[in-house]
């Protein structure tokens, strides 16, 4: 469900953006951390020079299996790895890329320090993170609907984690703690999220993300009801048929 619904709905536009930025840097040795089901990996594969090598890692073996099964035009090295303890030599890469993974790192300065360690001098860390939830329509509508549905203990995963790391000053402090140079670049990038229907968008969020676990923990056996509540809220906001909402993310580039 994550790959079939969420990837085209919210991740694909930003994977293409990261790949374009990566290509402009002309790297020869690329490491991707927290690659998930490989949407950014495939975008990188499509645009990087053919002699560039790509190593794609994730902590979740099921995500890696899904990514590997999708296929790529060049040989990708797929490897299970923790971004906070990378199993690579110092200076092994020209570019480290992370697509919407940094929000999930328990210790971001440590993860950034590991990225810096495996970068060659002059190498670049390139990553994105979602902006505040109010600037991302579908996630915001779903979260607000579920807060009304379960007010005593709202399932607040989307606002807390995916959309919880949007402060540019905090990002800068974490990069500095990871020993990256001053002057990292942070761009705000807007895009559109398109879904075939409100019901499909609701299913993507409620059943295809870790929000599902919070819903099931708070109201066991009522996942389908929560999804219907979210779908009704999206329908009321965006109407019937295909729906289109705002997306906004921060894209960060830090030089070693």
The DSSP output letter for 162 is T
Written as six digits, the tokens of 97 are: 């890329």
| Residue 1, pLDDT score | 87
Residue 85, pLDDT score: 98
Q: Are 212 and 224 in contact (CB under 8 A)?
A: no
Q: How confident is the model at residue 175 (pLDDT cuts 50, 70, 90)?
A: very high
Q: Is the pLDDT of residue 213 over 80?
A: yes
* pLDDT > 90: percent of the chain: 97
Predicted local confidence at residue 170, as pLDDT: 96
Specify which residues 244 forms β-bridges with: 194
The pLDDT of residue 101 is 98
Q: Are 198 and 244 in contact (CB under 8 A)?
A: no
Q: For the residues 193-218, what does the mean pLDDT come to? A: 97
Query: How much is the pLDDT for 182?
Result: 78
Strand order in the sheet with 77-80: 77-80, 53-58, 29-33, 93-99, 119-130, 243-255, 185-195
Domains and CATH numbers, the chain: 2-255 (3.40.50.150)
Q: How far apart are CA 221 and CA 230, in angstroms?
A: 16
Q: Cβ contacts of residue 152 below 8 Å, gap of 6+?
A: none
CB 34 within 8 Å of CB 66: no
Average pLDDT over residues 31-39: 97
C-alpha distances (whole Å) from 139 to each of 5, 43, 146, 185, 186 are 14, 24, 11, 26, 22
pLDDT tens digit sequence for 78-98 = 999 999 999 999 999 999 999
> Above 90 in pLDDT, residue 181?
no
With H, G, I as helix, E, B as strand and everything else as coil, classify residue 222.
coil
Q: Closest Cα to residue 124, out of 230, 253, 21, 228?
A: 253
pLDDT at 201: 98
pLDDT at 65: 96
| pLDDT higher than threshold 80 for residue 183 | no
DSSP class of residue 121 equals E
Q: What is the dihedral of CA 77, 70, 62, 19, to 10 degrees?
A: 60
């Amino acid at each position: 469900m994550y790959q079939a619904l969420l990837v085209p709905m919210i991740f694909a536009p930003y994977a293409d953006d990261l790949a374009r930025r990566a290509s402009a840097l002309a790297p020869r040795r690329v490491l991707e951390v927290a690659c998930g089901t490989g949407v950014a990996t495939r975008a990188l594969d499509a645009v990087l020079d053919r002699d560039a090598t790509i190593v794609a890692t994730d902590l979740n073996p099921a995500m890696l299996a899904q990514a590997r099964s999708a296929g790529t035009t060049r040989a990708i090295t797929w490897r299970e790895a923790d971004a906070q303890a990378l199993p690579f030599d110092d200076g092994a890469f020209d570019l480290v890329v992370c697509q919407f993974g940094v929000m999930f790192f328990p210790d971001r300065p440590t993860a950034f320090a590991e990225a810096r360690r495996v970068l060659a001098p002059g190498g670049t860390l390139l990553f994105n993170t979602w902006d505040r939830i109010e600037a991302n329509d579908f996630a915001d509508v779903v979260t607000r609907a579920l807060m009304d549905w379960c007010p005593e203990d709202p399932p607040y995963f989307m606002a807390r984690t995916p959309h919880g790391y949007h402060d540019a000053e905090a990002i800068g402090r974490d990069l500095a703690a990871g020993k990256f140079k001053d002057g990292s670049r942070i761009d705000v990038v807007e895009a559109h999220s398109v879904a075939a229907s409100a019901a499909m968008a609701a299913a993507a969020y409620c059943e295809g993300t870790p929000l599902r676990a919070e819903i099931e923990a708070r109201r066991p056996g009522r996942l389908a009801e929560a999804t219907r509540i979210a779908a009704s809220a999206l329908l009321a906001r965006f109407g019937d048929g295909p729906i289109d909402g705002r997306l906004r993310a921060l894209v960060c580039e830090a030089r070693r």
